[in-house]
Chains A and B, each alone.
Chain A
Amino acid sequence: MAQVRLEKLVKTYPKDSGGVVTIVKGIDLTIEDHEFLVMVGPSGCGKSTTLRMIAGLEEVNGGEIYIGDRVVNEVPPKDRDIAMVFQNYALYPHMTVYRNMAFGLELRKMPKAEIDKRVREAATILGLSDEMLERKPKALSGGQRQRVALGRAIVRNPKVFLFDEPLSNLDAKMRVQMRTEIVRLHARLNSTMIYVTHDQVEAMTMGDRIAVMKDGYIQQVADPLTLYSRPANMFVAGFIGSPPMNLIEGTLEARGDVLTFIEKAGTTGNPRITLPLEANMAAVVKSYVGKKIFLGIRPEDIEESDAGTGVLFKAKVDVSEPMGAETLIYLKSASHTLVARAKGHRIHTPDEEIQLVIDMKSAHIFDGETEESLTADLKA
């Protein structure tokens, strides 16, 4: 196994009109030996491009890629000791499952007995029967094909596994099942794995650490819980978590000794959210009085209650979505739509005014211009 290190990695593509467009803008990232790192972000953020540069499928236009101690920028894919699992499986349709898994080993002129041993071991790990090994990919389901693609990677015993959105083509149920299998595989093989996905649920449930990307930059790299509870900026805050964090634009006002957040004015006619800050939070953001800021609060930190250890406020119900074990209540304030997560089944009618309580210890404040978090250090 090996560490993978990216130093000031850049990827550009030429434009038809001349000049270049930069997709990956000088990122630095270290994936430790044996680590499962997930790269997550919206479409076009550069995560797949970065993965493909690590694989050697894309030319590097700046910076360096290290696998172990070796710079691999000019090393062809077959010599980097990596294996890749593709979104569309990329199983050779004219070969049997056995041959698909054995192909890479045959090209490396491994003895037949060794090839057979590795293929059958991988098949056992992945629950592929002997009969399945003789089938062609078209005779397999999506989940089985993805297992074969995993098997093709496993038999190579590579230093690094690369996954390029491998579960995107599966249905929701199969995706959950395969997620667990991949995590189990990582625990069993203890190998370095780099996993790319646009699904933040996959990222949160699978990764040791997550690198959140946007517009070619890495926004934050941290373990899932840290990303969730201490997002570095508004993008990370809004991207991680489902439903996403409520981000309310407003300003700070000093009302006596208390620094108070006041939502920006709107046109709905509903009352503006007004929330006094905790003392420790106020100490950090006192220089922002009168300036534009954003207050972030997760849906589970807004409760429907007329009592409790938080700040009370009222809002009108827009819609409510019963999910069974909980209800998502969409609320209309003066200029925002917020989401509150309430336990159990709650029935509300549109425009019904309800009382809510916010746990301000869980709130976040973001700079209105830079969108950076001002209170991340308080959440340790």
Chain B
Amino acid sequence: MKREVQLFFKHCGMIVFVVAMILPFLWMAGTSFKPHSEVERASLVPDSPQPQNYAVVLKKAPDAFTGKFLDLDFGRWYLNSVLIAGWVTALQVMTSCMAAYAFSRINWPGRDKVFLLYLGTMMIPGLVLMLPNYQIMVSLHLVNTYSGLILPAAFSAFGTFLMRQFMGGISKSYDEAAFIDGATHLQLFLEVILPLVRPGMVSLVILSFMGNYQSFFWPLVMVKDDYLRTIPVGLLSFSGQYGQQTELLMAATLMSVAPLIILFIVMQKQLVEGIQLGGVKG
């Protein structure tokens, strides 16, 4: 009886915690469907739902409050965010996997020391590196370009570390069997190692995409033109220009987090599996 009472209180506590976590999202979702007149009300569900708020944010319909189309290109920012995060993710996975292979499966002088040095770069805060990185982009004439947003993020010490952990758990006898079969390092990497570290790659895809999709400071520093903006930077100017129209801001914000939520829901199992496997194999 005592155990059931304890379980009841534990569940109550968890429900309170979950509600506290979900409530802001629910309010955001509810407010994104409200007309301007209902925004100040505390209710989660609008009395007169206004789904055309989304069309207004995407410049498909005029704003009911002002009667005009928005002056900002949210659709373009959306595309930029997905494009840039996609490219960075692809490049990070490719470079991290290749680096991890070199660090885990090829013996060369100084390998472990170089890896520690590479790992050491994770200790440096990103903001500290922002100025030198910006200087390099200026020298390369890559400021205010897609390349300038993508290339500096194409290499990841964390990604290399994660993939090295996964690769380290694969038996070296596969390498030996493949070499005797006639494989080169590249063939071994592509045909044997990569398929075996798929859970790790999925984890890296999720973490990398989520991280880069939400990147704010670097795009803020690098981008001058409106058409190159990403969502986090764009939402800042959205907030500045239309911040009083909370219903539009919530619609824009909900649209911006939708890919992340969908990605997480779809890939949750692989993400957890990947993190667990990485931990065990380490």
Residue ranges of A at the interface with B (Cβ–Cβ < 8 Å): 55-57, 76-78, 82-84, 86, 88, 90-94, 103-104, 107-108, 152, 156
Q: Can you sample 16 A-B contacts with CB below 8 Å?
A: A78-B183, A82-B180, A86-B173, A86-B176, A88-B171, A90-B171, A92-B177, A93-B196, A94-B196, A103-B178, A103-B181, A107-B182, A107-B183, A107-B187, A108-B182, A152-B177
How far does the Cβ of A270 sit from chain B's closest Cβ, in whole Å? Answer: 51
Among candidates A83, A88, A94, A107, residue contacting B173 with C-beta atoms closer than 8 Å:
A88
State the 6 A-B residue pairs at the shortest beta-carbon distance, nearest first.
A104-B181, A90-B177, A78-B182, A90-B173, A107-B182, A94-B195
Among candidates B182, B192, B196, residue contacting A104 with C-beta atoms closer than 8 Å:
B182
User: A57 with B182: in contact, given A88-B171, A90-B174, A94-B195 (CB under 8 Å)?
Assistant: no
Q: Bound complex: CA of A76 vs CA of B180, how far in Å?
A: 8
Judge if B179 is at the interface, Cβ distance under 8 Å.
yes
Q: Bound complex: CA of A78 vs CA of B173, how far in Å?
A: 15
How far does the Cβ of B124 sit from chain A's closest Cβ, in whole Å? Answer: 32
Q: Is the CB of A55 within 8 A of B195?
A: no
Q: Bound complex: CA of A82 vs CA of B195, how far in Å?
A: 26
Q: Which residues of B contact A90 (CB under 8 A)?
A: 171, 173-174, 176-177
Q: Is the CB of B176 within 8 A of A107?
A: no
How far does the Cβ of A66 sit from chain B's closest Cβ, in whole Å? Answer: 19
Q: Is the CB of B177 within 8 A of A84?
A: yes
Q: Is the CB of A84 within 8 A of B176?
A: yes
Q: Which residues of A contact B183 (CB under 8 A)?
A: 78, 107
Number of interface residues of B (CB under 8 A): 16
Q: Which residues of A contact B192 (CB under 8 A)?
A: 92
Most A-side CB within 10 Å, residue of B173, B176, B181: B181
User: A77 with B174: in contact, given A92-B192, A93-B196, A94-B195 (CB under 8 Å)?
Assistant: no
How far does the Cβ of B178 sit from chain A's closest Cβ, in whole Å? Answer: 8
Q: Which residues of A contact B180 (CB under 8 A)?
A: 55-57, 77-78, 82-84, 104
Q: Bound complex: CA of A103 vs CA of B179, how far in Å?
A: 11
How far does the Cβ of A198 sit from chain B's closest Cβ, in whole Å? Answer: 18
How far does the Cβ of A83 sit from chain B's closest Cβ, in whole Å? Answer: 7
How far does the Cβ of A299 sit from chain B's closest Cβ, in whole Å? Answer: 38
Q: Bound complex: CA of A91 vs CA of B174, how far in Å?
A: 7
Q: Bound complex: CA of A91 vs CA of B171, how far in Å?
A: 11
Q: Bound complex: CA of A92 vs CA of B191, how far in Å?
A: 10
How far does the Cβ of A103 sit from chain B's closest Cβ, in whole Å? Answer: 5
Q: Which residues of B contact A156 (CB under 8 A)?
A: 181
Q: Bound complex: CA of A94 vs CA of B182, how far in Å?
A: 18
Q: Which residues of B contact A83 (CB under 8 A)?
A: 180
* Extra pairs beyond A57-B179, A78-B183, A84-B180 (17, CB < 8 Å): A55-B180, A56-B179, A57-B180, A77-B176, A77-B179, A84-B177, A88-B173, A90-B173, A90-B174, A90-B176, A92-B177, A93-B196, A94-B196, A103-B178, A104-B180, A107-B181, A107-B183
Q: Which residue of A lies closest to B179 (CB)?
A: A77
Q: Bound complex: CA of A41 vs CA of B182, how far in Å?
A: 30
User: A86 with B177: in contact, given A92-B192, A93-B196 (CB under 8 Å)?
Assistant: yes
